[in-house]
Amino acid sequence: MLASNVDFSHLSNSFFYNKGLFNFQDTKASIMKKLMFLSIVFFTQLSLSAQDLNYYLPANVSFNPAIPKPKDIIYHEVGEFHVTHDRLVNYMKAIAAAAPDRVKLETMGFTFERRPQVLLIITSPKNQQRLEEIRQQHLLLSDPTKSASVNIDKMPIVVWIGHSIHGNEASGANSSLLEAYYLAAAQGKEIEELLENTVILFDPSFNPDGLQRFSTWANEYKGKTPVTDPNSREFNEVWPGGRYNHYWFDINRDWLPVVHPESQNRIEWFHKWKPNILTDHHEQGSNSTFFFQPGVPSRVNPLTPDRNQELTAMLAKFHAKYLDKLGTFYFTKENYDDFYYGKGSTYPDINGCVGILFEQASSRGHAQETVNGVLTFPYTIRNQFNTALSTLEGANTLRKEFLEWQRKFYQDVIARQNPISGYVFGDKYDPAKTNLFLQILMRHKIEISELSDNYSGNDFKKGFAFCVSLNQPQATLVKAIFENIPTYKDSIFYDITAWNMPLAFDLPYKSIANGTTNVFGKKLESLPVLHAGLSGDKSNVGYMMNWDGYFAPAALYELLNAGIRAKVVTNPLEIEVQTGKQKFDYGTIIIPVAMQSLSGDEIYTKIQSVAIKYNVPAWSMITNDVTSGSNPGSPKIKALTTPKIALIVGPGVNAIDAGEVWYLLDQRMNIPAAQLDQAIFNRADIGKYNTIIMVGGSYGELNKEKLKSWVQAGGTLIVSEEAVSWAAQNGLTNLKFKSTKSPVDSTQRLSYVQKEQIDGAQQMFGSILGADVDLTHPLAYGYHNKTVSLFKANKIFPEKSKSPYATPFYYGNNPLQSGWVSRQNGEAIKNTAAVVASSLGSGRIISIADNPNFRAYWLGGTKLFMNAIFFGNIIDAGTTNRADEE
């Protein structure tokens, strides 16, 4: 069995005979015995290589014996086991304590699971003594008003070395043990010169929670005898796997949205130093080899200057040299790209830095069979270690080129002639959402201005709107956030093709023409303080609460969960409140005082605190008599129930989609949701839930008849993406779907090499579509724009409902707002439904064809999703299409 697990294909027959291992008189049986012996030796060497630092470290380098080796702290050799995050941090602390002249340890912050994000600042003893002076001087390169006079002759280059943002791509984080040891303990002229010329920001684990989850799994299934079969449990993690952070997010897509603490902490330190180079050590499929940038030339974002790619190519020569020395096969300029700025290897490119992606074939466990032979964990670690060293050698050699580039990048930004002077933005209905957007801009050190007192337009209001100018160092990043990409050089992408953030936030914005002088006010120094709350004193009648604010659903849930009954306005009204006569729109929440289990004083106190806590305007009523519209006691004012939510998770379900829902409900809305695996759902009492959510994925193991009966009994089922088609295929809805036409004629004869490009262009990588909205529908309560931007990254194209009232969000003839969509997909999208409300028995099914919660920064979809939760069951059954009538 062992021999069958080993690939000797890279050795010719002559190798065995020339080495004297075989002779020409050997029988087949004797050859097989010798092969068995060789395989045992092979695995023994694998085991020894994980226990001998000489396998990894460069030859002819002496090391300071006072610096602890990894095994002294983590209790095993590098590559023998997968290092857990706690032991990784312990080693970094030990290194800093043993080599304080070279190493300073900082804690950037903590993850959701309260694991520390540590950063080692490594440089020469001389530089450590003047570290703050070096940092301040280095920052001058990114200030075009001061950078011209900065002398870079002896300025150290700043290099950020980052590891394993995907927790189950662990060779990077395990390599960091070796890198830290080498940089702290190596002795001699070469290392001294390197440290004198560089300041290294050393990040051993981008994703502590994911690394801990994966290392526990891989070590749990490691045996004394190596098992290399890819089918073995060691190589097949259970859902959701270690790739993601606590909330199952891919945080290598979060550098731009900065939703998560891991990203927020890292970005703060990034801008504190503004490095010249940032490396991002990843893993790829086990049957691959090793990739380093440059990526595909035609897939570079047009905002990235050519010089950035030139420097990337210059640095690549050093990676090639190091990997050639090891005999490691590699590739470049294929598969991976520099397009989406939310990744670790591309975000630096619009900050005067050069991001470098490394992708090592993954052993996933400790040794795995691949098409290239048995891939061992130590082998993967050694490649990562050597490309970290190649980066540092390249940085040292090209130090002046990178420093000069950073200076020129920011000088060019200011000198560039732009067709506009900036942008104005803000939502007068939802200042809390505007504040969340401002927070993102501030994290990226983008300069923001208040709206001028002299602004004469009616579309934006001072105090609710703000401006960003393109006459600032971060202008390129401003463009990346606000602009749509007009043209594309390629039609295949590694990630999404559009991310216009004002559209994602459903945030009104417009460009400011050059020469306009009455827009920009004084500089915004901090986030505006919001002052919404309850207007009026205690009422004996009731209270009205606005639904426009982003956190209004959180406020409503807290009231309902406290046992306070509430209703929703489905017909706008005008009524006298304590502050005067006022109009109230669709979705306004009414809290009556009568017939409550709480006293009037308790209700008043609770509404006061909730309105302030969530920045939701509320008013004290003085009467039920309206000037216009429906009275609060009308049947058109619908009673609400407290959501009791179950989210289907586990094998088959898209973990990222599920994590986005979990994050929204838990972190932003303070609403609990039970997480049910399909097997648990099948045997659980689901009558305790009134709302079930199913996101993208496959649900082959789910008891569909049980789910159908639950909906018929009055439950609200919310399905999105692939779950929409699943519900239709299994008889829960009667939705029909459009399909795409083939991009090629069946009579055409094409060359094989064209297949990748033609097929790839038909993928939906992620684009922004504008949906037309029925603002009177309960699923649209809280929206004020007739067009809402949704994110589409699938090929689910539902036809509109036969009922004229049941498609509250739909795509018209030209819905594309930003991103790449093939002609065939574009035709399929036209005049399709984005959202359909259906009834099944006494229950409701809300089908959302796309992902309203994409990456947790698509705040424009939040209201739709929360409306489905709170108002889905009040949708009039007479206005929906009934699946059980066909």
**H or E stretch at 512:** strand 509-513
Tell which residue, 204, 200, 210, has the closest CA to residue 158.
200
- State how beta strands 618-628 and 645-649 pair: unpaired
Per-residue pLDDT reduced to its tens digit, 389-435: 999 999 999 999 999 999 999 999 999 989 999 999 999 999 999 99
In total, the chain counts a number of residues equal to: 886
Question: What does the alpha-carbon distance between residue 299 and residue 296 come to, in Å, rounded to a whole number?
Answer: 6
Query: Structure tokens of 425?
Result: 């933005």
In the 8-state DSSP scheme, what is residue 877?
G
Tell which residue, 584, 573, 506, 512, has the closest CA to residue 545.
584
Question: What does the alpha-carbon distance between residue 495 and residue 335 come to, in Å, rounded to a whole number?
Answer: 11
Query: Structure tokens of 200?
Result: 């290294």
Question: What does the alpha-carbon distance between residue 877 and residue 874 come to, in Å, rounded to a whole number?
Answer: 8
Query: Structure tokens of 744?
Result: 């090629």
Q: How many CA atoms lie within 13 A of 768 on its CB side?
A: 22
Query: Structure tokens of 229?
Result: 């079969």
Contact 539, 579 (CB under 8 A): no
- State how beta strands 157-163 and 198-203 pair: parallel
Q: Quick one: pLDDT at residue 158?
A: 98
Chain centre to alpha carbon of residue 533: 33
Query: Structure tokens of 821?
Result: 């969509």
Burial class (CB within 10 angstroms; exposed 0-12, middle 13-18, buried 19+) of 552: buried
**CA distances, 523 to each of 442, 447, 452, 519 (Å):** 12, 7, 10, 12
Question: What does the alpha-carbon distance between residue 160 and residue 388 come to, in Å, rounded to a whole number?
Answer: 10
Q: How many CA atoms lie within 13 A of 100 on its CB side?
A: 1
Place of tokens 């509430």: 566
Question: What does the alpha-carbon distance between residue 474 and residue 440 come to, in Å, rounded to a whole number?
Answer: 13
Helix axes 171-185, 85-98, angle to 10 degrees: 10
Chain centre to alpha carbon of residue 116: 20
Rounded to two decimals, what is the model's pTM?
A: 0.93
Question: What does the alpha-carbon distance between residue 162 and residue 270 come to, in Å, rounded to a whole number?
Answer: 11
Q: Quick one: pLDDT at residue 386?
A: 98
Burial class (CB within 10 angstroms; exposed 0-12, middle 13-18, buried 19+) of 774: middle
Please confirm whether the linkage preceding 528 is cis (ω < 30° from 0): no
- Residues (pLDDT < 50) of the chain are 1-22, 24, 34-49, 884-886
Place of tokens 């309850």: 534
Q: Is 104 helix (H, G, I), strand (E, B) or coil?
A: strand
Q: Quick one: pLDDT at residue 490?
A: 67
Q: How many CA atoms lie within 13 A of 469 on its CB side?
A: 21
Q: Quick one: pLDDT at residue 449?
A: 97
DSSP for 329-353, written as a single string = --B-SSS--B--TTSTTTGGGGTT-
Question: What does the alpha-carbon distance between residue 265 and residue 732 come to, in Å, rounded to a whole number?
Answer: 45
Query: Structure tokens of 576?
Result: 């006298």
Neighbours of 670 (CB within 10 A): 16
Chain centre to alpha carbon of residue 642: 30
The residue type of 530 is: L
Question: What does the alpha-carbon distance between residue 875 and residue 869 come to, in Å, rounded to a whole number?
Answer: 11
Contact 573, 583 (CB under 8 A): yes
CA dihedral 742, 746, 748, 753 (to 10 degrees): 60
Place of tokens 């630096």: 348
Residue 363 β-bridge partners: none
Contact 415, 407 (CB under 8 A): no
Question: What does the alpha-carbon distance between residue 724 and residue 692 come to, in Å, rounded to a whole number?
Answer: 13
Helical H segments across 143-224, by residue range: 171-185, 189-197, 208-220
Question: What does the alpha-carbon distance between residue 24 and residue 391 come to, in Å, rounded to a whole number?
Answer: 48
What is the 3-state secondary structure of 629-655?
Answer: CCCCCCCCEEECCCCCEEEEECCCECH
CA dihedral 773, 774, 775, 781 (to 10 degrees): -80
Task: Output the CA angle 386-88-228, nearest 5 degrees.
Answer: 65
Question: What does the alpha-carbon distance between residue 790 and residue 787 come to, in Å, rounded to a whole number?
Answer: 10
Place of tokens 């659980």: 684
Separate counts of helices (H) and strands (E) for the chain: 25, 34
Contact 135, 104 (CB under 8 A): no
Tell which residue, 388, 365, 387, has the closest CA to residue 377.
365
- State how beta strands 809-818 and 767-773 pair: antiparallel
Chain centre to alpha carbon of residue 846: 26
Question: What does the alpha-carbon distance between residue 296 and residue 298 come to, in Å, rounded to a whole number?
Answer: 6
Q: Quick one: pLDDT at residue 496?
A: 80
Question: What does the alpha-carbon distance between residue 693 and residue 816 come to, in Å, rounded to a whole number?
Answer: 28
What backbone phi and psi angles, to 5 degrees, belong to 196?
-70, -30
